[in-house]
A and B are shown apart, each in its own frame.
Chain A
Amino acid sequence: MSEIEVLLAEVELLFLGREYPKGADYSRDRLRAAFAKNKDVHDPEKIKELISRGEFVVKELEALYYLRKYRALKKRYYETE
């Protein structure tokens, strides 16, 4: 069951990583490296911890993208005093 969770987490991060400012390739390579590094972890507790870390990264990326967009639009469309 946890294998599927890990897979879903990886795919989610892959999709999100496509919009990363440094480029889709950069984020995909970093993602692969990070997941490969933890390939041999079997302890379910440890896996849960890593998955929640993945979810944390998802939230961080979403916040990053939103702030970037908000700031760009604010700069373009609203008077800055």
Chain B
Amino acid sequence: MVSHKSRTGWILLLKFTLSDRGGRVTMSARVLVGVKRVIDYAVKIRVKPDRTGVVTDGVKHSMNPFCEIAVEEAIKLKEKKLVKEVVAVSCGPQQVQETIRTALAMGADRGIHVEVSGKDYETLGPLQVSKIFAALAKKEQADLIILGKQAIDDDCNQTGQMTAALLDWPQGTFASEMTLEADKLKVVREVDGGLETIKIKLPAVVTADLRLNTPRYATLPNIMKAKKKKIANVKPADLGVDVCSRLEVLKVDEPPQRQAGVKVETVDDLVGKLKEAGRV
């Protein structure tokens, strides 16, 4: 079957090797990693008095923890020489450049800052971001997109799935393990019943779950090196994406306050209180 001597046989063989999506994709593979700037996970969130959102001014921000895991996975692939380039992407105002720099310090090769600011940024959500990523994937000829499974501020868990759908690419979501074999990706997914193993073909979208890896810390020498790496600026309009939101936030409330507990002195008191509450 392999040693086709006929003319059509040779032409088919030639076409296969010249195709950029067949066979040895991985040697020149480019990975796009999305990183989101969110309020730091350890900060106590406060709702704005007008209940339109949460307080973000002067509050510590950092890279979404699941995005850190996504970046780490991409860097690991690069270190294993399975992919050639890791590109970190973030959408937002000037400050997101910090987040991109963190990704660069972790080992990404270059960054792309999609400029979205003001009202557009306040209403930016998974639908617009996935459109942006789909456009970028085509523009940068990415073979793999790795995102965090969800952001800890909006907990949408939608961007990865939507991006895959827009590109018509397979997706491996909630990945707790990922192995690249030629142009196929073996993904172990964390699902309610346990673990599910799937094999998907590149190009594909993967979303990172907590146990995928342990993200590295950006050491000082790497932070210094990262300053030399390039971050390109792009506007959504350049990618043909309309960032107008179809959603309107009506209100944001705090979770219900925990009722204060009552201390009792004796067992009799406890029984008395329980009887009062109708529990006994």
User: Separation in Å of the A8 CB from the closest CB of chain B?
Assistant: 7
Taken together as a complex, chains A and B put the C-alpha atoms of A69 and B41 apart, in Å, by 8
A57 interface residue (CB < 8 Å to B): no
Option from B214, B219, B220, B223 in Cβ contact (under 8 Å) with A66:
B214
A33 within 8 A of B: no
Pair B41/A12 contact, Cβ less than 8 Å:
no
Residue-wise, chain B 34-49 has the 8 Å CB interface mask toward A (1 for contact) of 0000000110000000
Please determine whether A12 and B219 come into contact, CB atoms closer than 8 angstroms: yes
With A69-B65, A73-B65 known to touch, is A15 a contact of B210 (CB < 8 Å)?
A: no
A77–B211 alpha-carbon span in the complex (Å): 12
Distance of A15 Cα from B152 Cα, bound (Å): 24
Per the 8 Å Cβ criterion, residues 193-233 of B in contact with A are: 210, 214-215, 217, 219-220, 223
Known contacts A73-B65, A74-B210, A78-B210; decide if A11 and B217 are in contact (CB<8 Å). no
Asked if A62 contacts B210 (CB within 8 A), the reply is no
Complex contact B214–A12 (CB within 8 A): no
Interface residues of A in 13-65 (CB under 8 A from B): 15-16, 21, 62, 65
When distances are taken between beta carbons in the complex, the residues of chain A under 8 Å from B219 are: 12
Judging by beta carbons under 8 Å apart, are A72 and B42 in contact?
yes
Specify which of B210, B214, B217, B223 is in contact with A73 (CB 8 Å cutoff): B210
Known: A69-B41, A72-B41. A11 touches B220 (CB 8 A): yes
- Beta-carbon contact of A12 and B220 below 8 Å: yes
Asked if B42 and A8 make an inter-chain contact with CB atoms under 8 angstroms apart, the answer reads no
Whether B210 pairs with A70 at a CB distance below 8 angstroms is yes
Closest to B210 in A: A73
A3 to B55, alpha carbons, bound, how many Å?
44
Binary interface encoding of chain B residues 242-266 relative to chain A, with 1 for a CB under 8 A from any of its CBs, else 0: 0000000000000000000000000
Nearest residue, chain B, Cβ from A19: B42
Least CB separation from B219: chain A residue: A12
Q: How far is the CB of B218 from chain A (nearest CB, A)?
A: 9
Whole-angstrom distance from the CB of B69 to the nearest CB of chain A?
10
Interchain CA distance A70-B220 in the complex, whole Å: 23
Inter-subunit contact B220/A77 (CB<8 Å): no
Residues of B within 8 A of A11 (CB): 220
Q: How far is the CA of A12 from the CA of B220 in the complex (A)?
A: 6
Residue in B closest to A14 when the chains form the complex, CB atoms = B220
Q: Which residue of B lies closest to A74 (CB)?
A: B210
- Shortest B206–chain A CB gap in Å is 18
Q: Please state if A73 and B220 are interface contacts (CB–CB under 8 Å).
A: no
For residue A78, which residue of chain B has the nearest CB?
Answer: B210
8 A-B pairs in the complex with CB atoms less than 8 angstroms apart: A15-B220, A65-B217, A66-B214, A66-B215, A70-B210, A73-B41, A76-B152, A78-B210
Q: Which 8 A-B pairs have the closest CB atoms?
A: A12-B220, A62-B217, A73-B65, A73-B210, A72-B41, A69-B65, A15-B220, A11-B220
Interface residue ranges, A against B (CB under 8 Å): 8, 11-12, 15-16, 21, 62, 65-66, 68-70, 72-74, 76-78
Other A-B pairs beyond A11-B220, A70-B210, 5, CB < 8 Å? A21-B42, A62-B217, A68-B42, A73-B41, A73-B152
